[in-house]
Structure formats: C-alpha cells, structure tokens
Amino acid sequence: MEQRRIGPWSVGSVGLGCMNFSHAYGTPSSAEQSKAVFDAALDTGVTLFDTAALYGFGANERLIAPWVKQQRNRITLASKCGMAGVVGEDGTIRRVIDGRPASLRQNCEDSLRRLGTDVIDLYYLHRWDQQVPIEESVGEMGRLVQEGKVRALGLSEVGVDALRRAHAEHPITALQSEYSLWSRNAELGTLQACKDMGIAYVA
C-alpha cells in the first residue's frame, strides 16, 4: 500500500476507523468478527488504527485492546479526548463535550487503561469545547506528551484560526476532518494551512 507521513510515522494511505465496530452503525460487531477485520486490514497494509473515548462510551477501546496488545509494534494507534460518555443523575450515559484540562487528563488515563497500553501514539482533541480556550486544552494535552502518555497531538473538526492558535501552543501533528465527495470545505483554506504548518490532513 502507498505510504503517507503523519508526524514521525509512515502509515498506509488508508487507515481503519474503528468507530462502527461498536458505535453508531447498527448492531456492534462481535470480538471475533472485529479481530478478523483488523487482521485483514493489517495484512493489506493498513497500519493506522483510530478509536476514541466516545465510541461506544469506551466499548470500542476495550474491543480493540486485546488485538492492539498483540500488534502494538506494527501499528500506529490513535484515540481521542474531549468528547466522552458521562453518566447523568438519572443514570443515563450521554455524550458530553468537555475540554477542561482536568477532564482531558481523565479521558487520557481512562483510554490508556481501556486500551491496555502505556502510550497513545496520536491523541486528538475530538471536538473543541468553545467554553474553554483551545490553548488551555492543547496545553494540557502537551503536558501529556511531556509525561510520555501520548506521543503526538491532533485536532478534529476545527477551523484554520483555531488550528493556528493550537499549533502555536503545542505542535499539532494531524488534523482529522471530513473531506469527501460530499464535503469539500477543506479546500477553502484548511488544506493549505495544514501544508504551511506541516500538519497531516486525515480525511
């Protein structure tokens, strides 16, 4: 498979987004079905595997963890913070966007535990909590890098101004946003900004 650069990693040009194994699209896959797909993807040259705290409210990270443990040195592992399931007073788990430093740190600790790994390669801010300056959120994520819990930082679904502000606070390795036949918004300046700053665009 053709290769692409994301920060220090060379990865297959196609990555595997793991969300739909346990979140959003119909009945979740079994562990056996999922493992078969993960194995097939790796066999065809896919080396970037992407999950998040939100997907299945942690279930997706737990699902891929045994496989990740077996293949850890062969893959680049991405996960996300800042949007997760929170149990309300009525006992219902709801999606909450929370970019406060303490919350992002807790998201990271929870993800490391669920994934059964000491470090996440690429850690995205899943959504920018606009109640919190992006510099504060990214600043705390940068401290996670300094502590060796995360290797590189990414952002998801932010505009050029927020991307520049974040990158000034701590180097941003990747921006993950929609870019498809249906959505060409990235062509309005985002792709050029990523090129200017040396940030990989993950569609």
Instruction: Check residue 72 and report its DSSP letter.
Output: G
What's the rounded Cα separation, in Å, for the pair 203 and 200? 10
Q: Does this model's pTM top 0.85?
A: yes
- Cα pseudo-dihedral 93, 99, 101, 107, rounded to 10: 40
What's the pLDDT tens digit per position in 114-129? 999 999 999 999 999 9
What's the pLDDT tens digit per position in 8-55? 999 999 999 999 999 878 888 899 999 999 999 999 999 999 999 999
What's the pLDDT tens digit per position in 61-88? 999 999 999 999 999 999 999 998 888 8
CATH of domain 3-202: 3.20.20.100
As annotated, the active-site residues are 55
Both tokens assigned to 44: 């065809």
What's the rounded Cα separation, in Å, for the pair 111 and 62? 9
**CA angle at residue 166 from 147 to 143, to 5 degrees?**
10
CA atoms within 13 A on the CB side of 194: 25
From the number of C-beta atoms within 10 Å of its C-beta (0-12, 13-18, 19+), residue 184 rates as exposed
Listed by start position, the domains of the chain span 3-202
